[in-house]
Amino acid sequence: MRPTIDELKSLWLHAYSRSSLIQADGWVVDLETTDPRTTKYRALVSAIIVAYCRPFTKSQVTKSERVVPLSAVEPPTELDSTHRNLIGLRDKVIGHADALPAKNHDETPNKVLIFRDATGFNLHTVLTSDIAREERQKIRQLCAHFRAYCDEKLNPLMAKFAGDVPALPGVYEVMITPEPEEWFKAVSTEAWQQMQDESSGNA
């Protein structure tokens, strides 16, 4: 049985969402053992925010359709403020540097500062460089919550179309194509290795 276009879109969107949440969760763990004074620490903070927010921003799933993958599911009530703060950080600080505050905030974290001394002055900018320890655990809980939702969507599809997956060992790319075109194609060993080298996420 061939998946419908909607089923293929659901497979793609929820697989990528799940992978992003796995990445975010793993990087929160890495943050615990990284020196806060390092560039790596600041990079991890940005990476966590970007990966976590990816399922809540629009994806171009077909040539004519942009979809927010997890728009249909809400965070747990007790984690809602953390979820909203992460989205605000992504929109106002990491993805874009806005001079105006995010919604429900009094001021923007994006500040331009003038450093003045006896020899003159220069300009500096303030960057988001930390996630409070108590917020890290909440992010991990959010990742687990949304990942469980992705699994609920993916598992029935994987079971339904297991018989269509090629019997030969290998790697196959899911294609969002209409009937009667194939909905998967073989990926060469070299291409698969390059994908592995470029991405640390797992679907």
Q: Per residue in 77-99, is it b (16+ CB within 10 Å) or e — as a string?
A: eeeeebbebbbbbbbbbbeeeee
| pLDDT higher than 60, residue 200 | no
Q: Is the pLDDT of residue 187 over 90?
A: no
Alpha carbons 178 and 154: distance in angstroms, whole number: 20
Range with lowest mean pLDDT among 118-122, 168-172, 186-190, 193-197: 193-197
- Res 191: pLDDT: 67
Tokens (6 digits) for 195: 């994908």
Instruction: Annotate 158-179 with three-state secondary structure.
Output: HHHCHHHCCCCCCEEEECCCCC
pTM (2 d.p.): 0.82
Per-residue pLDDT reduced to its tens digit, 111-168: 888 898 889 889 887 766 689 999 999 999 999 999 999 999 999 999 998 888 877 7
**Cα 136–Cα 138–Cα 142 angle in degrees, nearest 5:** 115
Specify the residue for token string 């990284």. Answer: 34
pLDDT digits (tens, 9 = 90+) for 64-119: 999 999 999 999 999 999 999 999 888 877 876 777 776 767 777 778 888 988 89
172 — pLDDT class (breaks 50, 70, 90):
confident
